[in-house]
Amino acid sequence: MSSRENYAFYFVFLLIFVVVGCQRAPSDFTTANKEVVRQWFSALDAQDFDALTNLMDEHFVVPARIIDGADRAVSRDATFEVIRGYYRSFPDYTHDIEEMIAEGDRVAVRVVLRGTQLGEYAGIAPTGRQVSYAGTYMVTVIDGVLTEVWSLDDEINLRSQLGMELVPVTRDR
């Protein structure tokens, strides 16, 4: 092998080594994404909207399929208004992470939400009751920021703890 061929061989080997070495392993991405989600819940519970703004993409959305079947997407600013509303009703609201699973840019989170109702919530006057109910979140993290959050909270359990009577609705068909 000539010296030129040796240099070419070593150059290609070095190039491959650098490219492969600079790439993060998939587990690094999932670990980093889980940490971003932990920071998001921490900022949420601290009502730190500056931190939330930094952790959420400017085009962040909460997709929602409403009961009428229509798809809607709630923007970051509208999401902040919803969050502020919850904290007006439950000033000590917390999200206790019980389980987190990540794959690629998706992080699934199971939490227990806890708080004391000191403000009106969904037409229910302040009760002073402490509530605890389950929530599940599917979060998309791209380049270190949240771009999308799907959430499913046990609103029936929450409302029943606040004393709301759950009555089946009958519809004329």
Q: 127: number of CA atoms within 13 Å, CB side?
A: 17
Distance CA 115, CA 132 (A): 7
Token pair of 43 as six digits: 């900022």
pLDDT, tens digit, 9 for 90 and up, residues 67-99 = 555 667 788 898 899 899 999 999 999 999 999
Pick the CATH number of 25-161 from 3.10.450.50, 3.40.140.10, 1.20.1600.10, 3.20.20.120: 3.10.450.50
Q: 61: number of CA atoms within 13 Å, CB side?
A: 8
Domain residue ranges in the chain: 25-161
User: What pLDDT is recorded for position 165?
Assistant: 84
pLDDT, tens digit, 9 for 90 and up, residues 14-53 = 545 555 555 555 568 789 999 999 999 999 999 999 999 9
Token pair of 22 as six digits: 């600079």
> Could you tell me the pLDDT band of residue 119, with boundaries at 50, 70 and 90?
very high
SS3 127: coil
